[in-house]
């Protein structure tokens, strides 16, 4: 009986990690600095859309904060990195994307056996209550009331304009509007997440008018406003997607020297949790 209790205590309550075998998990990162030399292009991943995050972020956070068969919710789906990784790691998935053409594109990446069964891709505006209602309906068809992990990878305000749609956060007319809209999505994500589980925010900062805009920390504060509690901040280097972020030329080095600033080579992976209470 004692051995059985020991095995139970060694199992993480929110992942498949067996803590009694912790030395065997050398492929799971626990440091707060992630130096990723190249984007993972295996398992269906590809660099086919500007502004998408590297699959390794999904890999590491899924392994740390979910078990197989649990549900990941992504309210800024984009090109589907998080959905593809859910299939690869045997997680279920619900994703919401604003652009109809991108929804169809991502659906084409998902094996038909999984689509609309284990992986659900919805077109909608994540700031709207109607979208929340539709997500709840889909969760119900999956036999769940809430997701077990929330992924948020919003536009970094207006650094890249993703569409002409006024509802697109990259078209927010000013920083305060962007943050208010992001906070609305974060609140919806909070409501759709199971208590005691985690949320992952992938975000970077920006410069405007010669001044640093600490977008990541502004978004962190908005996450706290809706009830999330911070767990960790990971700093990840930016490699392999510089063209999409406007870094194809050494001209940036000249501008940095002339303007007194430093070129962004990092972004944040911020981890939060929703209290059990």
> For position 40, what pLDDT does the model report?
63
> For position 86, what pLDDT does the model report?
97
**113 C-beta neighbours (distance < 10 Å), count:** 9
* Residue 179 domain-assigned (yes or no): yes
Q: Collapsing DSSP states into helix, strand and coil, what is residue 25?
A: coil
Q: Collapsing DSSP states into helix, strand and coil, what is residue 11?
A: strand
> For position 160, what pLDDT does the model report?
84
> For position 49, what pLDDT does the model report?
45
Backbone angles phi and psi of 208, in degrees to 5: -150, 130
> For position 2, what pLDDT does the model report?
41
* Residue 56 domain-assigned (yes or no): yes
Contacting residues for 144 by C-beta, under 8 A, at least 6 apart? 71
Q: Which residue has the tokens 């992986």?
A: 119
CATH number for the domain including 61?
3.40.50.150
* Residue 244 domain-assigned (yes or no): yes
Query: What is the crossing angle of helices 81-88 and 55-65, to 10°?
Result: 50
> For position 37, what pLDDT does the model report?
85
Contact 64, 28 (CB under 8 A): yes
What angle is formed at CA 97 by the lines to CA 149 and CA 124, rounded to 5 degrees? 105
Residues of the chain with pLDDT under 50: 1-8, 45, 47, 49-50, 241-246
In which domain, by residue range, is 185 found? 32-38+48-273
Q: Sign of dihedral through CA atoms 101, 106, 107, 108? A: positive
* Residue 74 domain-assigned (yes or no): yes
Distance CA 225, CA 35 (A): 30
Distance CA 102, CA 270 (A): 26
* Residue 251 domain-assigned (yes or no): yes
* Residue 152 domain-assigned (yes or no): yes
> For position 51, what pLDDT does the model report?
54
> For position 1, what pLDDT does the model report?
38
Report the domain count for the chain.
Answer: 1
Contact 135, 77 (CB under 8 A): no
Please state, in angstroms and as integers, the Cα–Cα distance from residue 72 to each residue in 36, 146, 247, following that order: 23, 10, 32
Hey, which residues does 120 pair with through a beta bridge?
A: 94
> For position 3, what pLDDT does the model report?
42
Hey, which residues does 202 pair with through a beta bridge?
A: 269
> For position 165, what pLDDT does the model report?
86
Backbone angles phi and psi of 252, in degrees to 5: -60, -35
* Residue 101 domain-assigned (yes or no): yes
């Amino acid at each position: 009986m004692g051995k059985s209790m020991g095995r139970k205590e060694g199992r993480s309550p929110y992942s498949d990690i067996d803590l009694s075998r912790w030395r065997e998990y050398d492929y799971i990162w626990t440091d707060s600095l992630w130096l990723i030399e190249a984007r993972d292009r295996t398992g269906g991943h590809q660099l086919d859309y500007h502004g998408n995050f590297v699959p390794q972020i999904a890999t590491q956070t899924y392994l740390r904060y979910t078990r197989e068969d649990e549900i990941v919710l992504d309210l800024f789906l984009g090109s589907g990195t998080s959905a593809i990784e859910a299939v690869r790691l045997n997680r279920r998935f619900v994703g919401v994307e604003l652009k109809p053409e991108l929804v169809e594109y991502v659906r084409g990446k998902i094996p038909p056996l999984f689509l609309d069964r284990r992986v659900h891709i919805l077109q909608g505006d994540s700031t709207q209550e109607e979208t929340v209602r539709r997500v709840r309906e889909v969760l119900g068809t999956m036999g769940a009331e809430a997701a077990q992990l929330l992924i948020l990878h919003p536009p970094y305000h207006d650094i890249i304009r993703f569409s002409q749609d006024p509802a697109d956060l990259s078209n927010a007319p000013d920083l305060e509007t962007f943050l208010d809209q992001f906070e609305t999505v974060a609140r919806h994500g909070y409501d759709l997440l199971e208590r005691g589980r985690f949320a992952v925010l992938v975000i970077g900062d920006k410069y405007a008018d010669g001044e640093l805009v600490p977008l990541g920390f502004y978004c962190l504060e908005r996450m706290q406003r809706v009830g999330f509690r911070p767990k960790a901040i990971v700093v990840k280097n930016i490699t392999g997607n510089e063209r999409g972020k406007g870094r194809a030329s050494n001209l940036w080095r000249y501008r940095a020297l002339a303007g007194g600033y430093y070129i962004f080579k990092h972004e944040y992976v911020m981890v939060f949790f929703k209290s059990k209470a």
